[in-house]
Chain A
């Protein structure tokens, strides 16, 4: 297909949420996934080289156009909104969930040393964290993990894309 790159660019542009390459394969049935992913790579590079206001980013297993980091404050002016921010407390709870998932609430509280019901509820409401099940121990406590929206919000491809947790030296070894 001659205009493969153009089609892909259009699909990503129109799709509001990150679109996966397998979804694109489903749309262009006679094109191989390999061709599609190499065309995507070309597009990513082109936007990178152009170094303009928008970039093609791989997030949450799909592709999405996103504005560059340097123009954020101007976009805020257009939208007339204050940047949505998480409190440091919420960020700490989120970090424990992200790195320790699936994790029980009591485990998070042990790490942070404080009650986390407020921050956890906020994260659940923002759909950054979800209940992934119940642990098979007495009381069957809920266990929590991060959502797809978490990956999208932090611009991560997958969970393994998280920066490694700085290891801490074990004592008394």
Chain B
């Protein structure tokens, strides 16, 4: 076979399993009975081709090459009498299971792509005019990611001077946690910005943020947001 037959772009494959599936399909072989020697040879040839094209070859491709070679060698070994019971398992089994699972998800991904995607195939109304006042029902619960993002924005906005500060105030995380819970019990809900902007100095700001994260982790509080980048409201769980 000429090298030309392997001139193929790496980026058309979503990973080593995808390349392997392609080879199985191309050779029209049964996925449950993969001719390991043939497929391994072709797989390694592809990888060499990619390397010679100076393509940035992800390490995962090499891992699978090693796995294939290992399976191939195991299949060459005669089954010895003593180990017969242990060796009953087909050395290809784990790989086939992984391939089938990957194939199922690859098809699911194609299925998602065929759906009518908002902003690509179908459209809603553009949000014009004032955003309707949202009540609690339309609030979305948010996770750490949004909180960290909001925190980053606040830290950036406060733009505190980089003065050296000697911390005289003794602070503990559990004190901040208790303060926040007390405040929430009194007032029902608090906004993320309220909590952080009243924090004062940077040290306190960070302690407050850590306290919020800890409370979320413990599921004592929940954070909600009406729209992305909107006001984040914090509630006690179960209130």
Contact = CB atoms under 8 A, between A and B. Distances in A.
Contact of B228 (A75, A85, A127): A127
Best-buried of A14, A92, A111, A147 by chain B (most CB within 10 Å): A92
A7 interface: no
Interface string B151-171: 000000000000000000000
Contact of B115 (A23, A99, A115, A154): A154
A111 B60 contact: no
Contact of A115 (B58, B89, B118, B145): B58
B122 to A, nearest CB: 5
Interface residues of B, number: 54
Contact of A66 (B93, B118, B127, B138): B118
Interface stretch (A28-36, A44-52, A130-138): A130-138
Contacts of A77: none
B120 A72 contact: yes
Contact of B112 (A91, A132, A134): A91
Contact of B132 (A14, A75, A111): A14
A126 to B, nearest CB: 10
Nearest to A96: B105
Contact of A163 (B90, B111, B137, B138): B111
Interface string A17-33: 10010110010000000
Nearest to B216: A133
Given A66-B122, A169-B100, A16 B17 contact: no
A114 B64 CA distance: 11
Given A23-B138, A163-B111, A95 B100 contact: no
A104 interface: no
B108 interface: yes
B41 interface: no
A172 B228 CA distance: 48
> Interface SS of chain A: helix, strand, loop or mixed?
mixed
Contact of A16 (B18, B102, B111, B132): B132
Contact of B122 (A69, A99, A115, A169): A69
Contacts of A15: 132
B228 A64 contact: no
Nearest to A90: B109
Contacts of B17: 112-113
Given A65-B124, A127-B228, A152 B118 contact: yes
Interface string B8-21: 00000011111000
A168 B118 contact: no
Contacts of B89: 172
A124 interface: yes
B125 A65 contact: yes
A69 B118 CA distance: 10
A139 interface: no
A26 B135 contact: yes
Contacts of A112: 14-15, 17, 102, 105
B145 A114 contact: no
Given A72-B120, A112-B105, A115-B58, 6 more contacts: A26-B137, A83-B121, A94-B112, A95-B111, A115-B60, A154-B117
Interface of A: 13-17, 20, 22-23, 26, 64-69, 72, 75, 83-86, 88-89, 91-92, 94-96, 98-99, 110-115, 124, 127, 130-132, 134, 142, 147-148, 152-155, 163, 165-172
Interface of B: 14-18, 32, 58, 60, 64, 89-90, 93, 96-98, 100-113, 115-125, 127, 131-132, 135, 137-138, 140, 142-146, 217, 228
Across the A-B interface, the 3 shortest Cβ-Cβ residue pairs: A114-B15, A168-B100, A95-B109
